[in-house]
A and B are shown apart, each in its own frame.
Chain A
Amino acid sequence: MAKSIDVSDLNIYYGDFLAVEDVTIDIPARSVTAFIGPSGCGKSTFLRSLNRMHEVIPNARVEGKVLIDGQDLYGDEMDPVNVRRTIGMVFQRPNPFPTMSIYDNVIAGQKLNSKRMKKADSDAIVERSLRRAGLWAEVKDRLNRPGSSLSGGQQQRLCIARAISVEPEVLLMDEPCSALDPISTSAIEDLIHELKSEYTIVIVTHNMQQAARVSDDTAFFNLSGVGKPGRLVETGRTEKIFSNPEDPATEAYIQGRFG
């Protein structure tokens, strides 16, 4: 079951430093939402607060509400471990486990949680995840090689395969294609299209065409000034944001006039 995410009045801090200020946004279920904005405006920070990855940084904290299908993500009775099982994440930089083979990296979610599986089942999961991430053809003959023996772009697709192998209901992707060539990028975009029917997907990207191609909704983040916190400037249907944005800053950014 895909989930919608409703964020209201979210402030995100690193210690005393307010990184992202006062974000209110509704992310609909079974759709793709793109976050765009200049570097350092807090896209990654905001994304990480959506599956409680933000709090693993010492002294980092959030204020405000994040509701997933009406459940308060930061409520007292919520277990961050279970939250992260439901809301998967692909990071900006590829981070395969160096001690594990390609195969083990893909089923790391199951393996690290000591889930018992039949060999046939895990084989099936590995193959399906790698196919979806567009990596199967390249690695099917060397599944036992270490994950770190792959190229940067292959490692990123390996990480995507790892994230989808646990079948999360929401998938957060932080610039998943920034290290990929056009062919793998289009494989990932096809994957996003395919996953969208079952999952809720949030993707951060610096590539305007990509945002226009894959997303249903777009949110534009910006810094209000040097040293000021980032904030959400505008959000809406992607066609609208790209053709007829309300805020002049959005228009300037999309047309490449700054950022």
Chain B
Amino acid sequence: MSTVVTPEPGTRPETSLADQLRGRSLPAGAARVVVGVALATAVLAYVVGASPVQAVLLAWVVTLALPVWSYAVEGRRKAVDRLVTVLVSSAFVLALFPLASILWTVISKGAPVLSAEFFTYSMRNVVGEGGGIYHALIGTLLITGAATVISVPIGLLTAIYLVEYGAGGRMARWIRFLVDVMTGIPSIVAGLFAYALFVLFFGEGVRMGIGGSVALSVLMVPVVVRSCEEMLKLVPNELREASYALGVPKWRTITKVVLPTSLAGIVTGITLAIARVIGETAPLLIIAGMTDSVNFNLFDGRMATLPVFAYTSIRNPGVPPEFALERAWGAALVLLIIVMLLNLAARLVSYFFSPKGER
């Protein structure tokens, strides 16, 4: 249409439609310029002799010029937008510092020790240099694997009960409450629980890999329940109804419609739960103990694990201490790599299993 609709006289000032729609804005790239200036200021301040912290703070103050400039040119709404953008970005960078610092420390101290020997040798009869984490790696994989085998059926079935059967009932409310309580159990308490449980059967001083798995499942089950519950809730009710309307019984609807639809989320949740417990130290220290040799049997005797290995290496480094410290950092790095691989696997799984089409 070529005609402009004029507002009723008296209700609005006579501005043309074009003026109503237009708004002044900063030149494109203004934000980039300000950030560039801020960085330059920081570098300059550092060269002149400010401490790094002072330089960063100075740069941050300079970026605040952006909202001020924007207020002068663009008006209040856009200025607030820019201010909040600056604040959120600063918070993001702030949060990145510890992460980057941890990564840097672990990689720089752990990487040099990684070698074929490090992965394939245990610490049996090793004094000083050499040896490796093979026994601890096996222990961690076995114990966490068994914990997963214990927790996933319990957690998933609980979640299915909560969403599909219990919905809103008193029983479901109680279970949900207890799961929340369980989420808060300190890991040392989980370890003591597993220890006390196994003492009942095997007597005082028992050490077993499977005990570690039980302790870890106590920590893992609530995480699995919660994440699976959220995922099952996301499945639209219409799909369940579509299935019922075809004369499909409830259990088949759950196993063949609800679970496949939410599979990606469930697998991601389980993977993150594994990542959550794989680095636990305290419970394993109590019930799985520590050893220098490889033990493949979850049901017999002490088992080394990566976190406990790192802990004891730092605790009792022996003489000279530097080799043990190096190995501790190496074990920490390997643990970190495993967690990253798990996250990557979760990503891949959710990519390949999520319902196709709409996404």
Name A residues whose Cβ lies closer than 8 Å to a Cβ of B.
51, 53, 56, 58, 81-86, 88-89, 91, 93, 95-99, 108-109, 111-114, 145-149, 159, 162-163, 166
Contact = CB atoms under 8 A, between A and B. Distances in A.
Nearest to B353: A99
B80 interface: no
Interface stretch (B115-123, B214-222, B246-254): B246-254
B252 A148 contact: no
Contact of B256 (A86, A96, A112): A112
A95 B238 contact: yes
Interface in B250-289: 252-253, 256-257, 260-261, 263
Nearest to B236: A95
A56 B240 contact: yes
Interface string B158-178: 000000000110000000000
Given A84-B247, A95-B236, A163-B246, 19 more contacts: A53-B244, A58-B167, A81-B244, A85-B246, A91-B238, A95-B239, A95-B242, A97-B243, A98-B239, A99-B355, A109-B248, A112-B246, A112-B256, A112-B257, A113-B246, A146-B355, A148-B355, A149-B356, A163-B245
B81 interface: no
A98 B167 CA distance: 24
A34 to B, nearest CB: 20
B357 interface: yes
Contacts of A159: 242
A148 B357 contact: yes
Contact of A82 (B238, B244, B247, B355): B247
Nearest to A113: B248
Nearest to B260: A99
B358 interface: yes
Given A85-B247, A112-B257, A53 B357 contact: no
12 contacts: A84-B245, A89-B245, A91-B238, A91-B241, A96-B242, A99-B261, A108-B242, A108-B243, A109-B248, A112-B248, A113-B247, A162-B242
Interface string B125-169: 000000000000000000000000000000000000000000110
A54 B256 CA distance: 22
Contacts of B168: 58
B252 A112 contact: yes
Dominant SS among interface residues on chain B:
helix
Nearest to A59: B168
A61 to B, nearest CB: 15
Nearest to A148: B357
Nearest to B249: A81
Contacts of B248: 81, 109, 112-113
A98 B358 contact: yes
A93 B237 CA distance: 12
Given A56-B240, A58-B168, A108 B357 contact: no
A146 B356 contact: yes
A96 B240 CA distance: 11
B245 A112 contact: no
A107 to B, nearest CB: 10
B351 to A, nearest CB: 15
Contact of B358 (A84, A108, A148): A148
A209 to B, nearest CB: 27
Contacts of B256: 111-112
B238 A93 contact: yes
Nearest to B263: A99
Contacts of A108: 242-243, 246
Contact of B355 (A51, A91, A98): A98
B243 to A, nearest CB: 6
Contacts of A83: 247
A86 B357 CA distance: 31
A113 B244 contact: no
A95 B252 CA distance: 18
A109 B247 contact: yes
Contacts of A149: 356-358
A35 B246 CA distance: 22
A162 B358 CA distance: 20
B242 A97 contact: yes
Nearest to A51: B245
Contacts of B239: 95, 97-98
Contact of A146 (B243, B249, B263, B357): B357
A145 B358 CA distance: 11
B252 A53 contact: no
A139 to B, nearest CB: 13
Contacts of B236: 95
Contacts of A91: 238, 241-242, 245
Contact of B241 (A56, A86, A112, A162): A56
Contact of B257 (A85, A97, A146): A97
Contacts of B357: 98, 145-149
